[in-house]
Amino acid sequence: MSQATVDVLFTIFYVFFSFCLMSPPTEFVSAGITIQNVLSNYLGSEEMHFIYYHIKRTTFTVVIHSFFPLGYYIGSGLFSPEKDLFNLGTLPFFWRLYLCLSVGIILVALVVAFYWSLYKWNNHPISRQLGHLQRSGESWRTVASSINIEFRRFDKFTTGPHGQRVIVTDSWVIKTGAYFLHIAHQNDIHLTIANSEEHSLSYENMSSVQYINFSVSSVNPKIQPFSIRLNSMEYRDLKDKLQAPIRNARNVVIQQSLSDKFLDAFKEQIVQNVDFHPPATLDIETCIGCMQKQADVKLVKLCDDPTQGDCVQCFCRPMWCLECLGKWFASRQDQQHPETWMGSKSPCPTCRATFCVLDVCRIART
């Protein structure tokens, strides 16, 4: 192999390897070759100290990435000995300049990292951003600890590839990046659907996956806008976790999973049914399906005469929310023939009395 070929191969390999370290593909992540993994002892627990973890992670990422140009120089010296790169006295101008710049980049990165770490990370860009999110009189550390607490909750929404995760907690929308962490308070943001991309998975069954890009802008002018991206199948989970509505000014059509589509149709039907007015003495409890919402539906046989037809009056007290009952109903249907679902029946999840969609009544609180 000629020396020129070796040079080219080494350059390609090095650039490829550097890119893989900067935004690791899944193969690297599953092999554990990420900065997070290598430094896990120093970074601490993300689960316990989310903000401090990312402050340290971004600082280390800057320092480690700053070594890449010098690494290329050393690699070239080893792979092409005839360039004589380690003999500083006879270096050609190009390599002398390259060496100075690479060392300069490392020095700048080290100075920046040191500056960020002063006063227990007071100068780090993430800390400064949190400073803009505080209510008057609080320190950025108070904001950090409230984010840490919410991150520990199991019901947060997370998605996205390693290095570009989107996390939505009860009050925060967060996106991780190599050198930064975007954070915005849910009360301050406008979430807008920017566009969608469709990628076909296979030509045989025409199935495709849709990704939706959202732009997140804050009414707080000191918070930079950012974008988040997710699979359309996760859209409902994101929507459930957000307090503010999602704007869809461009009318992007969102592909939903079959059960999500059914759930929407199910809800539309139930809204048209007669409401159930509970006696004042009846205590309405939390739904036993999701343990989150209040029970808000009651099965009342309305589709036919009380003694006619297949449906049977259910005497259970309200125990389910509309969403959970809809999921239960869908799970009891013929999965191959979704067009039959709306007209079908299902047993009550508690007493097994048969009901149809016409028998599901929303509880009207008066």
Strand order from edge to edge, sheet including 226-231: 226-231, 208-218, 189-200, 246-247
Percent helix, strand, coil in the chain, to 5, is: 45, 15, 35
Q: CB of 295: closest distance to Zn ion in angstroms?
A: 8
The interface region with Zn ion, picked from 88-96, 179-187, 334-342, 343-351 by CB under 5 A, is: 343-351
* Residue whose CB is less far from Zn ion, 189 or 314: 314
Which residues make beta-bridge pairs with 227? 215
Which token pair is 21? 């370290």
Instruction: Rule CB under 5 A: say whether 322 interacts with Zn ion.
Output: no
Contact 318/298 with Cβ under 8 angstroms?
yes
| Element spanning 225, H or E | none
Contact 303/356 with Cβ under 8 angstroms?
yes
Instruction: Rule CB under 5 A: say whether 289 interacts with Zn ion.
Output: yes
Instruction: Rule CB under 5 A: say whether 356 interacts with Zn ion.
Output: yes
* Residue whose CB is less far from Zn ion, 109 or 348: 348
Instruction: Rule CB under 5 A: say whether 324 interacts with Zn ion.
Output: yes
**Site pattern 156..195 for Zn ion (x: CB under 5 A):** ----------------------------------------
The Cα–Cα gap between 182 and 218 comes to: 11
Q: Which of 231, 316, 332, 365 forms a contact with Zn ion (CB under 5 A)?
A: 316
Residue 193: closest CA among 172, 216, 219? 216
* Residue whose CB is less far from Zn ion, 12 or 316: 316
The Cα–Cα gap between 38 and 52 comes to: 17
**Site pattern 295..314 for Zn ion (x: CB under 5 A):** --------x-------x--x
Number of residues lying near Zn ion (CB under 5 A)? 15
Sites for Zn ion among residues 11-40 (CB under 5 A):
none
Q: CB of 123: closest distance to Zn ion in angstroms?
A: 46
The Cα–Cα gap between 363 and 69 comes to: 66
The structure tokens 């040191």 sit at 114
* Residue whose CB is less far from Zn ion, 62 or 353: 353
Q: CB of 313: closest distance to Zn ion in angstroms?
A: 9
Residue 362: closest CA among 263, 241, 262, 269? 269
* Residue whose CB is less far from Zn ion, 31 or 288: 288
Helix axes 68-79, 3-22, angle to 10 degrees: 160
Q: Which of 51, 174, 181, 287 forms a contact with Zn ion (CB under 5 A)?
A: 287
Pairing of strands 246-247, 189-200: parallel
* Residue whose CB is less far from Zn ion, 99 or 303: 303
Listed in sequence order, the residues at least 6 apart from 18 whose beta carbon sits closer than 8 Å to its beta carbon are 68, 71
* Residue whose CB is less far from Zn ion, 189 or 325: 325
Contact 117/63 with Cβ under 8 angstroms?
no
Q: CB of 284: closest distance to Zn ion in angstroms?
A: 13
* Residue whose CB is less far from Zn ion, 165 or 241: 241
Contact 318/329 with Cβ under 8 angstroms?
no
Instruction: Rule CB under 5 A: say whether 350 interacts with Zn ion.
Output: yes
Q: CB of 67: closest distance to Zn ion in angstroms?
A: 52
Instruction: Rule CB under 5 A: say whether 347 interacts with Zn ion.
Output: no
The Cα–Cα gap between 82 and 76 comes to: 10
Q: CB of 352: closest distance to Zn ion in angstroms?
A: 7
Q: Which of 114, 290, 317, 335 forms a contact with Zn ion (CB under 5 A)?
A: 290
Site residues (CB under 5 A) for Zn ion? 287, 289-290, 303, 311, 314, 316, 321, 324, 348, 350-351, 353, 356, 359
